[in-house]
Amino acid sequence: MTRNKLIVDCATLAGKVMLESNAESYRVEETILKILETSGLNVTEAITMTTGIIFTLDDPETNNPPFTVVRRIYERNNQLRNIQSVNNISRALTAGQISPQEAYDQLLIVEGSEYSQGIKTLGSMFLVLGFTILLGGLNLKAMLVSLFTGLLVGSSSSLRNRFKVTGFLYSLFTTTVVSFLVYLIGYFIDMPSTAINIVITASFMPMYPGTSLTNGIRDTLKGDYISGVARIIESIVVAISLALGVAVGLTLYNGVMSWI
């Protein structure tokens, strides 16, 4: 494998990992360009969007054929640790501290690293509990129910990955089940309606597309309008699915209670 081909592979893998980790498009482009510039060739161009990477490495002064890469991105989730790791590797490569082969090997490790499902579920439980307390749910019943809903939300993410469900359907189904169960449990344990609403709101937080919305605004301000608008629309669609899920869950709860 030639050195330039190895640099292209490094840029491709770095961009893929960063986009799949929900990094801003402009940040991914900068990282890819910095890696490509280590080749010493004159032409380095890169375009990234939320669903793909396109870049070219060429030099008109040589007779070597150009490298052009198109890579489709199918999945995205929040992995800020991976973004930081890729940034550190690219900085070390551009500074000459590591070779392209070493950078590629380290990028493969980053690509394969991910939190276990148990850690993700535990994180969701404490996240929901924390927001319940923050929103004023200083009630033992509310806190216990919030831990249960956090367990449901955390466990549902593994089902999404297994069945390849879209973000809209995943959020709609999960919020429907969670809101229905919270209303039902709240009825049987005599939990105040205010506490029920707080728990349901807190249960949304692991699914709320806050990172996508923030990155969409940042991409738009940076001039990456396609990526920015796409991320903002994605956030709006997920937010709508959350609202619809609560409405469906409440409708199901009212229907069940009318039979009791």
180-205 burial code (b ≥16 CB/10 A, e <16)? bbbbebbeeeebeeebbbbbbbbbbb
From CA 245, how far away is CA 161, in angstroms rounded?
Answer: 20
The answer to whether 237 touches 167, Cβ cutoff 8 Å, is yes
CB atoms within 10 A of CB 137: 25
Place of tokens 């969701």: 124
Q: What is the pLDDT of residues 22-41, one digit of tens each?
A: 898 889 999 999 999 998 88
State both tokens at 180: 């229905």
Q: What is the pLDDT of residues 5-25, one digit of tens each?
A: 899 999 999 999 999 998 988
From CA 224, how far away is CA 227, in angstroms rounded?
Answer: 6
φ/ψ of 69, rounded to 5, equals: -125, 135
Could you tell me the CA-to-CA distances from 49 to 15, 25, 165, 216, 245 in Å, in that order?
10, 6, 21, 11, 29
Sheet with 43-49, edge to edge strand ranges? 43-49, 52-58, 67-72
pLDDT at 77: 82
The answer to whether the predicted template modeling score (pTM) of the entire model surpasses 0.85 is no
pLDDT at 64: 77
Q: Tell which residue, 78, 168, 82, has the closest CA to residue 127.
A: 78
State both tokens at 59: 């030099």
pLDDT at 53: 94
**Residue ranges of the chain with per-residue pLDDT less than 50:** none
pLDDT at 150: 92
From CA 150, how far away is CA 210, in angstroms rounded?
Answer: 18
pLDDT at 80: 85
